[in-house]
Structure 1
Amino acid sequence: MNPVFLFSGQGSQKPGMGADLMGVPEVASSFECASDVLGYDLADLVATASPEKLNDTRYAQPALCVLSVGIARALMARGVVPAAVLGFSLGQVSALAVSGMLSEEETYRFVKARAEFMAEAASAHAGAMSALLKADDEAVRTVCESCAQGDVLVPANYNSPGQIVISGTPDAVSRAEEAWAASGKRFARLATSGAFHSPLMADAAEKLAEYLAGVEFSEPAIPLICNVNASPLSAACAREHLAEHLTHPVRFQQSVEALEEQGHTTFWEVGFGGVLENLVKRIDRKASRACVQDLASFDAALESLAPDAS
C-alpha cells in the first residue's frame, strides 16, 4: 500500500534545511513559485537566514510549507502517489496543495496570510506552550482547569500516547508546569512565539476566516485528514475548519489512529525534522515510517518502493 504523507509542523525548521534537494526540479520549482508569491527569494532565505530570523513565524511557516510541497511533488513525479495526506498544524497547509484542494500559488498566498495573522495575534496576546509527559486526557484537563485561575489554559496538541501539549498565558502555563512537576511528572516548554491552538489566537482565526471567504477549494483528489476532527476534509468544510484550526487542538494521534483503522500502515514525514516520524513510533511501534527530508532519504524512500526492493 502506498504511504501516507505527513507534513511537518512549525518548530522543526532549521537554516539550510533541504539544501541538497534544490537540484531536484520539482523542489526548485516549488521554491520559485513561492518566491514569486512571497516577494522574496525563499531558497536564499532558508540557506542564509539566521536561526532567529527563520524561527520568526512569518518565515518559518512558508519555508516549511514549501519544502514539504516540493518534496511531495518530487515523489509523486516519480510514481509515489500518497494514499492520504495529514499535516501537523502548519502541515495542513502543505496538505491542501498536495491533495489538490488548492493550487500551489493559492497555497503559498494562504500560508503567507496565515503566518502574518498568527504573528500579529502572538504579539498582541503573550502566550506559551508546554508538552506534558506521561499525560492522559483527563489529567491534562484537570490541571488546565485547576491552574487557569481566570487565564487561558487549554490542551492544544494531542501528539501521541503520553504526550499532550498545553497552551495559554505564560503565567497559567507556568502554574500548570509546577503542578505537573509536583505530581512527579516531567514537562518540556516549547520554543514558540505564542499560544497557538488556543483562544489567544481568536484574532488570527477571525482574520483568516475573512481571508478564506474569498478562496475557492476543490474537492481533494487525495484524502486529507483534518487535524480538527481527525476526519477527511471536504471543500464545503474547508473554510470553517481551517479557521477553527488556529483556536482548536491538533488531534494528530487520533488522526493517525483513524488512518490505521482504514488499513494504512506506512507513514512518511515529507518535510523536515523527523518529529512526526517519531510521534508515529510512539503511537504504533509496528507502523512503517520514514522521514524524507534530504537527498539521501529521498533516494532511500524511492528505493524502498522499487519492485525488487526486499
Structure 2
Amino acid sequence: MGKIAFVFAGQGAQYTGMGQSLYACSPAAKEVFDRAEAIRPGTIRQCFEGDKETLGQTINTQPCLFTVDYACAAAAKEAGISPQGAAGFSLGEVAAVAYCGVLDFEAAFRLVCRRAELMDDCAKQNPGAMAAILRLTPEQVTDACEGFDAVFPVNYNSPQQTVVSGSAQQLDAYIEKVTALGGRAMKLPVSGGFHSPFMAQAAKGLASYMAGLEMAEPALPLYANYDAAPYCAVRAKELLALQVQSPVRWQKTVENMMAEGFDTFVEVGAGKTLCGLIRKIAPQAQVYQVENEQTLLAAGQALAGGERC
C-alpha cells in the first residue's frame, strides 16, 4: 500500500460559495475560516457570496483560496485522512507550507495577503494574461514561443497541457500560432501573467517581506513548484520567492512523488483541476477531492484509517 498526499488547489479554481458546506458541517473547517476572518475581515463573505469579478481580483482570490485550501485539509484530517506528504499548485503551495508546519497559519495567511498585493501591483504595472494550451506537447508549446519576447511557458501541468503567460498584445497572436499547429487555447480567469518575468518585482518584494520570518522544517515531505524537489527550511524563503516568477513544474512534481511511493492524491480546495491533471500524468494513481461535504464523506469513507477503495 502506497502513501497518501494532499495537493492544494491554485488560483483560477475559485467560485462563489466555495467552502460554505464545509463551514457548516466541519468544526475544523469552521475554525480555519473564523481564524482567517479575524485577520482579514470579509474573507468569509467573499468566499461564500463573492461574485466572479470580486473573486477574480488577485487581492481577493489568493487569501480566499488559501483559506478554502487549508479548511478542506483540516476537514479531511478531522475525518481521519492522514497524508504522508504534500504539494500545492502555485498559490496552493503557500497553503501546503502552512499545513506542513513550515509557517504557522497566521504567518502564512499574512504572507499570502502580502503575496496577493505584490502580484496585483505587478499585474497592474505589467499587464498580462494566461492561457492553457492543449493538444500540443510541452516542447511544441515552448518552441512556439520563439518570435515572441513577451510570451513564456509557465505551468508544465501534464503531457497534454502547458500554460503560458504573455502580454495582452502578444498572447492573442501566440494563440493563433498554436491553433494553426493543431493546439487548443483556453484563457484563464486570472488577472496577470503569473509565474513569468512579469512578476519579477513581486518576487523581490516577497523575499524582502519574508526576511523577518522564521521557517521550520516541514513535518511532512513537501514538494516545491520551482524544482519539483522536497523543501527544507533553509531554502523555504528562496523557493517561495522564486515560485512567483518561475514555471510551476507540476508534471515533474507528481512524477517525483510517484517515484517516492505516493500513489494516492487528495486534492484539497476549490474545484478538481489537480485531480484531472494527475489522472493524465499518472493514470495508475488513485485520486480524490475534498471541497464540500459530499466529497469529504466520499474521501473519508475510502481513505480514513489508510484504507483504499
TM-score computed with the length of structure 1 as normaliser: 0.95
CA distance in structure 2 between the partners assigned to 1:78 and 1:127 by the alignment: 41
Cα distance in 1 for residues equivalent to 2:308 and 2:272: 23
Task: Give the residue type in structure 1 aligned to 2:256.
Answer: A
Cα deviation for residue 185 of structure 1 reads 2.1
2:213 pairs with one of 212, 215, 218: 215
Contact 2:16 2:50 in 1 (8 A): yes
Distance 2:167 2:133 in 1: 16
Once the two structures are superposed, the pairs formed by residues 66-145 of structure 1 within 5 Å of their partners are: 66-145=67-146
Map of 2:33 onto structure 1: 31
Q: CA deviation at 1:114?
A: 0.4
Give distance in 2, aligned partners of 1:160 and 1:153.
19
CA distance in 1: counterparts of 2:270 and 2:308, whole angstroms:
25
Q: Distance in 1 between matches of 2:182 and 2:85?
A: 39
Please state how far the C-alpha of 1:216 moved relative to its aligned partner: 0.8
How far apart are 1:75 and its partner, in Å?
A: 2.2
Unaligned runs of 5+ in 2: none
2:150 maps to 152
- In structure 2, give the amino acid aligned to 1:135: L
The answer on whether the counterparts of 1:156 and 1:165 sit within 8 Å (CA) in structure 2 is yes
CA distance in 1, matches of 2:278, 2:8: 13
Distance 1:73 1:177 in 2: 40
TM superposition shift of 1:118: 0.5
CA distance in 1, matches of 2:81, 2:165: 37
In the alignment, what sits opposite 2:301?
A: 303
Q: Distance in 2 between matches of 1:123 and 1:253?
A: 30
Structure 2 CA distance for aligned equivalents of residues 261 and 298 of structure 1: 27
Q: Deviations over 1:37-57 (max 9, x none)?
A: 22x132222122222111111
Check conservation: 2:56, 2:189, Cα contact below 8 A.
no
What one-letter code is carried by the residue in structure 2 that aligns with 1:160? S
**1:181 aligns to what?**
179
Return the alpha-carbon distance in structure 1 between the equivalents of residues 132 and 303 of structure 2.
35
Q: Secondary structure at the match of 1:181?
A: helix
TM-score, length-normalised on structure 2? Answer: 0.95
How far did 1:192 drift? Answer: 1.7
**For structure 1, which segment, 56-65 or 181-190, has the greater mean C-alpha deviation from structure 2 after superposition?**
181-190
Question: Partner residue of 2:285?
Answer: 287
Any idea what SS the aligned residue of 1:179 has? helix
Letter matched to residue 284 of structure 1: A
Instruction: Provide the C-alpha distance between the structure 1 equivalents of 2:264 and 2:212, rounded to a whole number of angstroms.
Output: 36
* Matching of residues 129-278 of structure 1 within 5 Å: 129-146=130-147, 148=148, 151-278=149-276
Alignment partner of 1:203: what SS? Answer: helix
**Are 1:2 and 1:81, in contact at CA under 8 Å, matched by a contact in 2?**
no
Aligned to 1:15: 16
User: Do the aligned partners of residues 70 and 259 (structure 1) sit closer, same or farther apart at CA in structure 2, a change above 3 Å counting?
Assistant: same
Give how far 1:207 is off: 0.6
RMSD: 1.4
State the distance in 1 between where 2:70 and 2:187 align. 29
